[in-house]
Amino acid sequence: MRVLKSAIALALTTALIFRIATPVNATTIDTDDVYDLIYSGFEASSAIADIETSLDDVSFDYSSADYTDYDDTWIEDARDFIDSNTNIPQNINSVNTEEITDEQAMATSISYSIACAVWSMNKGRCTINNIGDETAYMFISHYIDRTEYYWYNTNNQYLMDGPSMSENPSYFSKWITSYDRTAYTTYIAQSGAASSFQCIKDIGIEVCSLYENNMAFGDIVDDFDRISTNAAYLRTLLNTARITMDEADLAADIDYISQSILYFGGTESVSYIYSTMIADDNLFRDADSALRSQLISTTIAFSLSVLLGDIAGGVVGIGVSILSFTFDIYMNLFKFAMWVNMRNSFQTREPWRYNDYLTDLYF
């Protein structure tokens, strides 16, 4: 290993290997902004899944919604309704803020992979003109192609150490070469996890598209946060409603409102949707008047927030990609047998990273 590294170091003045002359047009991103966006979306995704799991045959899947059906006026009316009907449960902030959550760890790993991919493309280090592929490769390099990894014992710390892995002398994870990309392409193809990696690729592509289209992250993050907040209050209402209401009837009424939002959204005003639901005496008929009113307004607010989250980013489509990303998708990214095969070639791949690292350091 040392002999090979020495030989490579002596060759630094020769033509660079695995580099292209013209950098790929990419962008500069703010990793903190990207993390906030992805983390808030992952929290919202978990909140949606929690509500759907607690109710049989209820879906808040608005991925089929076309953002062009919702003009700015309708979207602002929807946000106003949500904010006017949002109640924050007293215990919503009673969490252990020192413990790293799954959503934080996943968001950290993906946002850092995107940042490394942008860095790589801006330096002209890859022969592909696809930020999505490079994001997936950087993710594998930093979090899978290593001796100790998250999927062994689900220790979130292994998803928080990306920056230290980038220049770790045993890995140089950020300086991947064509040999690495070939190994990673094989890993993705043979692992049966191509669809899961596509989710990461899509997020990488769409995050960069937000920058290229000069789109602000703030509104999207706010829409994601509205989902989480309204989900928390809806859960408290559901627990109260279960005391007097039949579970099947409760689920049916929630789903009816959810589907109505998809059906009427963009064509009818939010106030019309609300008044129609209030006038329907069959909705939550076994709940008292005050609880019934809260169930209707909160379910509408939650449904609207999910819809706005799904159409977030407009043509960029970032909302669906983040909200549809789940913990199960993340766990599916690792396949032990394919990991073993990939690691078998690491000792022959790593010296070339060292070569590129020294090149960037001294030239």
What contacts 7, CB < 8 A, 6 or more positions away? Answer: none
Nearest-angstrom CA–CA distance, 267 and 128:
43
pLDDT higher than 90, residue 23: no
Q: pTM for this one?
A: 0.88
* 20 in any annotated domain: no
Tokens of 274: 């609300």
Residue range 114-170, pLDDT digits in tens: 999 999 999 888 777 799 999 999 999 999 999 999 999 999 999 999 999 998 999
Number of domains observed in the structure of the chain: 1
**110 vs 99: which has the higher pLDDT:** 110
* 243 in any annotated domain: yes
Tokens 């937000």 correspond to what residue?
Answer: 210
* 90 in any annotated domain: yes
Q: How confident is the model at residue 10 (pLDDT cuts 50, 70, 90)?
A: very low
Nearest-angstrom CA–CA distance, 354 and 341:
22
Quick check: 175 and 357 in contact, CB under 8 A? yes
* 24 in any annotated domain: no
Please give the backbone phi and psi of residue 108, each rounded to the nearest 5 degrees, phi first. Answer: -65, -45
For 203-237, b where at least 16 C-beta lie within 10 A, e where not — what string?
bbbbbbbbbeeebebeebbbbbbbbbbbbbbbbbb
* 151 in any annotated domain: yes
Nearest-angstrom CA–CA distance, 257 and 277:
8
* 136 in any annotated domain: yes
Domain that holds residue 274: 2-15+29-362
* 284 in any annotated domain: yes
* 342 in any annotated domain: yes
Please give the backbone phi and psi of residue 268, each rounded to the nearest 5 degrees, phi first. Answer: -110, 150
Helix, strand, coil shares, percent, the chain, to 5: 65, 0, 35
Residue range 170-180, pLDDT digits in tens: 999 999 999 99
